[in-house]
Structure 1
Amino acid sequence: MHANSLDDLAIALARNRASGTVSGLAFAGIVSRLDADEVQLAALDAYNSDLKGHAMAGTTPACQSILGLHAPIFGPIASRDFFNEPGHVHLPQGIIGAQCELAFTIGNSFPLKGDEIDRESIAETIVACRPTIGLLGRRAFGAPHSDIIAIADFGLQVATICGPAIRVDWDGLDQVQMTARINGEIVVTAKGSAILGHPLEAVALLARELASQGKQINAGEVVTTGSWSPILQVLPGQTLSVEFETIGKVSCTFD
């Protein structure tokens, strides 16, 4: 795909994200992961937002099936779409649904050269854990659902809504139960083991992918795990509350 076409696609994606709309866009020329990564980076720049962190998606088979993915992906968390439990969030056009997940704040840049990428080393660099609702959506219609197109389209990330930060027992995190309620009614429960066997494995997967590109998770950045349960459809007027036992709760009403 020609560089000018990549730039045009990135600008169109950013414009649609900013306006909360969808339109038909020319994804056909994206033929590689490199193309997708370039569009994602250029789109974030055109969106005029700093990088707050990284949002994982498709970290369970059920979520991959819903999103049309073959493997987990990640996209940028834009600072302008990162919220500290705001109470109300607008649902844009193209919304897919909500992820019930955790967000980890990284204290030291990771991985550094020579670092082992495993649960123990990751746990040592995390300084906070927050119950989180992640919104996913698309900025275009008519494009086939594939990993590289989803990556180009901001990794499908729309917004990240976080509750209070606490420290947790990493060893037992895979057995923590999550309960999601819509308008007070339980709609789904799940355990942390749904995320690649343990939620910290989502951070490990991200760290390995960034390291393969000569990059790292920077100090202060946030990493989300992807949804513990299948992605939930949410509608205007509904309130989604997600509670993680021993960790905390986050709620949001959608407009």
Structure 2
Amino acid sequence: MDAAQLQNLAENLARNRRAGLVTDLPMSLLETEADALSAQSAALDLFDDDFRGYSLVATNPAVQRSLDLGSPIFAPIASRSFHDGLEHITLPRGMLGAQCELALTIGETYPFSIDPIDRQTAAGIVVACQPAIGLLGRRSRPTGVSALMAIADFGLHVATIRGASHHHIDPSQLDRLKVTARLNGNVVARSTAGTILGHPLEAVAWLARKLASDHRQLNADDVVLTGSCLPILQVLPGQTLSVEFGTLGSVSCRFE
């Protein structure tokens, strides 16, 4: 994919995201992961100039199957799409559904220079945890390789709604949280946070390894959205999604 094609794709992705549109875009021109990451980065620069951390998608097998992804993907979180305590949101076109996930706040630069990047070291740098709903969607009609399309298209991130923050947590126990999702009060899914790569901290370690391979790091105050504990939930205008995360509390949002 040449530079002019990449810039054109990025401009159209950013335009569609701002307008809440889905159109035919030349995603089939993406040949490599490097192409997809370059398109994502350029589109993000056009969409926002402030970022809050990273959103992960497909960190459990059910989501990988539903999105036709063989492994997790990630993208920076644009600040304009990151909301605390939001009670309602208008759904754009191209919605794929909602993730029921954890928002983990990082307390210091990670990974360290000599320590391994694993669940144990990740536990030491998580300083807060919040329940979250992550909305996923597309800005382009599907063409080409699913994974490359998903990466370029902002990692499929649309918006994030966070609940109350908890600072006095034991990160090593997060996998034991019982998660229950309700749509308009009716239970639609149950699981535990351990479905996220076996433990939510594995999502932090996975992301840190990906960043380190590109000579980057997580920084203090970054938020890592872990990917969903549950299958992707279809949400429609007029519905309210409420998700309970055991002792961590709950988060809810009404869709319009």
Q: Is the 8 A contact 2:28 2:145 kept in 1?
A: no
Name the residue aligned to 1:188: 189
* 1: CA distance, partners of 2:59 / 2:16: 26
Name the residue aligned to 1:104: 104
* 2: CA distance, partners of 1:132 / 1:48: 21
* 2: CA distance, partners of 1:109 / 1:89: 33
Q: CA deviation at 1:112?
A: 3.0
Q: Report SS of the residue matched to 1:86.
A: coil
- Paired amino acid for 1:153: D
Which moved further from structure 2: 120-129 or 7-16? 120-129
Q: Report SS of the residue matched to 1:23.
A: coil
- Paired amino acid for 2:223: V
* 2: CA distance, partners of 1:206 / 1:181: 29
Q: CA deviation at 1:171?
A: 2.8
Name the residue aligned to 2:224: 223
- Paired amino acid for 1:79: S
Matches within 5 A, 1:129-144: 129-144=129-144
Q: CA deviation at 1:8?
A: 0.7
* 1: CA distance, partners of 2:160 / 2:49: 14
Which moved further from structure 2: 143-152 or 178-187? 143-152
Q: CA deviation at 1:144?
A: 3.7
Name the residue aligned to 2:9: 9
Name the residue aligned to 2:199: 198
Matches within 5 A, 1:105-120: 105-120=105-120
Name the residue aligned to 1:249: 250
* 2: CA distance, partners of 1:73 / 1:169: 26
Name the residue aligned to 2:211: 210
- Paired amino acid for 2:187: I
Q: Report SS of the residue matched to 2:55.
A: strand
Name the residue aligned to 2:177: 176
- Paired amino acid for 1:196: L
Matches within 5 A, 1:17-32: 17-32=17-32
Give % identity: 53
Greater than 3 Å deviation, 4+ residue runs: none
Q: Is the 8 A contact 2:48 2:79 kept in 1?
A: no
Name the residue aligned to 1:158: 158
- Paired amino acid for 1:43: A
After superposition, what is the alpha-carbon deviation per residue over 1:138-193, rounded to whole angstroms, capped at 9, x for unaligned? 00114245111100000000001000110322232212100001111111111121
* 2: CA distance, partners of 1:232 / 1:147: 20
Q: Report SS of the residue matched to 1:24.
A: coil
Name the residue aligned to 1:240: 241
Q: Report SS of the residue matched to 1:246.
A: helix
After superposition, what is the alpha-carbon deviation per residue over 1:88-143, rounded to whole angstroms, capped at 9, x for unaligned? 11100000000000000111111132232112211111111000000000001142
TM-score (norm 1): 0.97
* 2: CA distance, partners of 1:144 / 1:158: 21
For structure 2, list consecutive stretches of 5 or more residues without a partner in the other structure: none
Q: CA deviation at 1:212?
A: 0.5
Name the residue aligned to 2:74: 74
Q: CA deviation at 1:85?
A: 1.8
- Paired amino acid for 1:245: G
- Paired amino acid for 1:138: R
- Paired amino acid for 1:220: D
Q: Is the 8 A contact 1:69 1:145 kept in 2?
A: no
Q: Is the 8 A contact 2:142 2:149 kept in 1?
A: no
TM-score (norm 2): 0.97
How many residues of Structure 1 are paired with residues of Structure 2 in the alignment? 255
For structure 1, list consecutive stretches of 5 or more residues without a partner in the other structure: none
Q: CA deviation at 1:218?
A: 1.6
